Each structure stands twice: as structure tokens, then as C-alpha cells.
Structure 1
């Protein structure tokens, strides 16, 4: 058993490695008493196809467990390459075995553009996922795209609050935040997740569940986004990252490089009482500290 440091957290590592074309190596960061109640896991795959297969297994298993326990599965999506990496959920066996009628779909962030706009995360999800499996249309909660970013964020939070009251979305037992069954996030080369960008004031938002920005450094400028308290209240959070362009940032976040400097948003994703899993292809993981992956 090894020990690995994530900032001030020291935890035992269980290392797994399989050789071959279908290789996947992973290490689980187990909790130490009084340090962190739930584990973190980092999974590294030979390529995006293998990552996509395991991601489908992961989501399907969480869906089954949530439906069995609560009768619903409340999941929040992001944009970028995430939807294409979820594509195997549209194939057998998942297309037939997942209880799609029990899914409630939300967006962890959205661009304030028309739903048929090329930049719309809703359009991306509709074209790549929602139109291919039997979701219940009334369970798909996209933003109001006819109002300002501020009003869209306000309206979206109202919808979520209504669904928390009816327990479609659970509520955190340590705050009043919604407790999504799963939040799926990508990560940009700058370390942003959802529409939470480095050094942006919304990183400090503690009261609102959904907020807005009008100055995104990445176009389009107007967006709504879940705040960090909501993300960190989820039962499960998965961060999915592929490609060498993000390798340096993955290294900074996971290896906890320069811990005294302001945190990248991705490093601030730390579920309070939930599970965090990183899904990486080998290119995204290529700059991780190799000593932490050896026995």
C-alpha cells in the first residue's frame, strides 16, 4: 500500500494495473478518519473509446442504484466533449436496460443562447443523447433561453428549488443545497469546470445555487452555472478529461502542484459527503507524477 498527498490530505492508495489493449490503471484515494469521509478515484484509460465504455458502466450503475433507492435519477450534464463520451449509453445494452423514464436531466452550466444555436449545451445533448433514448420530455430541464443571463439563472434556480421540495432532487443533510445523484463535468485547459473560470468572482458565491456570468473568457460570454456549493453537495461527481492539451492542468490539479497559489476551479471540486471520480485518457494523464503510479 502506498501513500499519496493531495495538498494536506494524505491517504493510502490501492493501485491496479492491467496490461493489454484494454488496459486501464486506476488508484483509489481512500479516506482517512477525520480527513475526508468519502474516497476519490482516478481512472486512466488507453484511449477515449475505453474511457467511454467504462463511463457508460459507471453512469448506468449509479442510475440503477438511485432508481432503486429513490425512484428517480437526477443528473446534471455539461457541454464540450462530454456528450460524445457518453455516446455508448445510446447503444446496447444500456439503451434497453437503463430506466430512462426515471431520469431527470439538468445542466451544470449552459450558454445563454437559443436552444438551436451551435453553442447550446442543450442542443449538444439533444443531438448526441436525448434524441436517441426514451427520455420523458418533461423531465428534461433546460434554461429559459428568451431572457437575460441573470433572469435565466434565477428561473433555473427556482425550478431546482421546486424539485427539491418534491424530493425529485435530494437535499444535502449538512446544508440546504440540492444533492444531485450525479454531476458530470468536463475541464478546460485553464482548469475551469462548468462555467466557473479561474479568478472569477463567482468562485466565491456561497448563497446562490445557480448564478450567471456575462464576461466568460471563452465565448459565448453570457452563461449560467451551478455554484461550487451545489457541485460539492452532489452524491457523485465525475470529471471527464481527454487530450494532451489538458495534461498540464490535470497535473496541477491532481498532483496538487503549487498548493499555495490560488486554486484552479477543478481543484475546488471536493464533494463534502460525496464521491469524486476522475476519468482520464492516457494523454490527459501523461504529465501526472509517475512515482504515484508505481508499487
Structure 2
């Protein structure tokens, strides 16, 4: 049985993943900021109708455009370091950066998602090119529920300050996938967090790996994004990818997102991670020249 995955791009090596993911991000950035209608990640051509809708929206919406992106941590940050920092078409100062999850540790800890992104990405940018970054309140790391509530308020201010919205809608949400199958800080068999339907952010306690206390975006928030992109590399990920792609009934968090976000999900995976995985792979066509 194969789950509903819109598209899987495969690459011989990690540097190929980094280059393609950076292009994918810039294409999403351009669509958001400029209504730049090009081929999407499923290679579907734009229609005159879609172009008209974007142009009409641009005339009505006079607020400055911002590219709202959410990141997880781990090896994904290194992929972004290798792919994005060498490019000149990243409009960092028009980005609003949020985090899909955070470990409740001090920012100077090597286990902090924000701390890692700060050291590997944001600190390496010129001052006038830095994005606006929305991280957790470091003073609340000893109270998971209060920290989750505080970060949800940050999201409400960013996405629903003057409007009533049921869920935030990120332009792009970037996720990795751990060998145990967890994404963000949504772990297999953590029923309460996986079943949450209303909260945008929830605390995670007694996590089975790494720091025990965390916060995470919920499944409905992740699935509501314009685009959900998984970046996965290494032979150690092959067993869990096989389960995700061939046994969706197992209910791993990424399988739930595959089904919930359907045609808005893309995977960027190196060949080692797809070893013995029965999926249809596709070659990535670069969208930004």
C-alpha cells in the first residue's frame, strides 16, 4: 500500500538536495512577494485564471508582502546553510521566520532549534539583510504550557492580528524526519499531541528522545500551510521512509501530514534515504534561473 504523496524528488548526494531545496524556497518566496506564477513543485502550469486572481489580490491588498516560513531544526539547518547562503536572490529582510517546534533549552544550547539556526544562518547575514525572527520566550523554558501559550499568541499576532482566522497559513513549512518517525516535536504514539484539533501550539513533555520538554505546531497548523516540504537524507532514514511511504496505516506523524496536506506536500530526499523504498521518484526541475 502506498500513501498519497504528491511528489518525491530524489538526488544522488546531499549537495544536490541543498541546491534544489534552496531553489524551491526562492520560488515560494517569489510567488508570495511578487505573485510570480511559475510552475509549482508538482510542475503544473499556471492558468490565466490563477494569474488574474493573484493580480486582483495584489490590487486590493495594500499591506507590505512578507514571506512567512516555518523551520524545524536538526540537519535541515545545515541543508539551508549549504543551499541558501551562497545565493543572492534570497530576500531575507522580507522574511518572517517562525519555528515548527522548539526544545525547551537555553538558546546557547546545541539542542536549541533557534540557537542552531541563529549560528548557522542568521548570524552569517549582513545586518541589513536579516529576517524578522519569531522564537519562543527563553524565560519560559521551565514551563512548557506557558511557553506554548506564549508562542501561540505570537502566531495569533502575526497571522490574525486584525482578522479572525481558524488557523495560520504559512507560505512554506520546512520539516525534517527523524529515524524514529517524529516530525517537528510530534512523536509517534504521543496520542494527545497527534489528536489535537484546535490549539495552534502545544507543549510536549516526556519526549522519547532528546530534550524531554518541547513545544510544537500541531497537525492542523502544519497541514494548513500553502506548501509543506520534507527534507530527508542519509541511509539511517531509509527504514522509517519505507514505513511512511508503504505503510501509512501505521499512523506516523509524517504519514498523517501526507494525507492531510495531500497535493501541497513535497519530499526532497537523497538516494540513500530511499534505499529499498517503493515510491515513484522524480527529477527536480529548477524553477528559478
State the TM-score, normalized to the length of structure 1.
0.78
Q: 2:264 aligns with which of 275, 278, 281?
A: 275
Check whether the contact 1:237–1:274 (CA below 8 A) recurs between aligned residues: no
Matched, 1:182 2:172: yes
Task: Give distance in 2, aligned partners of 1:63 and 1:286.
Answer: 32
Which residue of the partner structure matches residue 34 of structure 1? none
**Aligned pairs, how many?**
249
Check whether the contact 1:64–1:99 (CA below 8 A) recurs between aligned residues: no
Check whether the contact 2:69–2:98 (CA below 8 A) recurs between aligned residues: yes
Which residue of the partner structure matches residue 284 of structure 1? 273
Matched, 1:116 2:82: no
Check whether the contact 1:210–1:225 (CA below 8 A) recurs between aligned residues: yes
* Contiguous gaps of at least 5 residues in structure 1: 10-28, 30-39
> Which gives a bigger RCO, structure 1 or 2 (Cα 8 Å, sep 6+)?
2
Give the number of the structure whose residues are more often strand, by fraction.
1
Alignment of 1:1-295 (within 5 A): 6-7=2-3, 40-69=6-35, 71-92=65-86, 94=87, 96-134=88-126, 139-147=132-140, 148-166=143-161, 176-200=166-190, 201-254=192-245, 256-257=246-247, 259-260=248-249, 262-270=250-258, 271-272=260-261, 275-289=264-278, 292=280
For 1:97-125, what per-residue CA distance to the aligned partner results, in whole angstroms no more than 9, with x for missing partners? 22111100000000011111111001110
Give the number of the structure whose residues are more often helix, by fraction.
2
User: SS state of the match for residue 138, structure 2?
Assistant: coil
CA displacement at 1:195 relative to structure 2: 0.3
User: SS state of the match for residue 179, structure 1?
Assistant: coil
Task: Give distance in 2, aligned partners of 1:77 and 1:293.
Answer: 24
Q: Which runs of 4+ in 1 moved over 4 A?
A: 134-138
CA displacement at 1:73 relative to structure 2: 0.5
Task: Give distance in 1, aligned partners of 2:25 and 2:202.
Answer: 26
User: SS state of the match for residue 273, structure 2?
Assistant: coil
* Contiguous gaps of at least 5 residues in structure 2: 36-63, 283-289
CA displacement at 1:160 relative to structure 2: 0.4
State the TM-score, normalized to the length of structure 2.
0.80
Check whether the contact 2:91–2:129 (CA below 8 A) recurs between aligned residues: no
User: SS state of the match for residue 220, structure 1?
Assistant: coil
Task: Give distance in 2, aligned partners of 1:293 and 1:139.
Answer: 35
Task: Give distance in 1, aligned partners of 2:181 and 2:235.
Answer: 14
More deviation in 222-231 or 109-118?
109-118
CA displacement at 1:176 relative to structure 2: 1.0
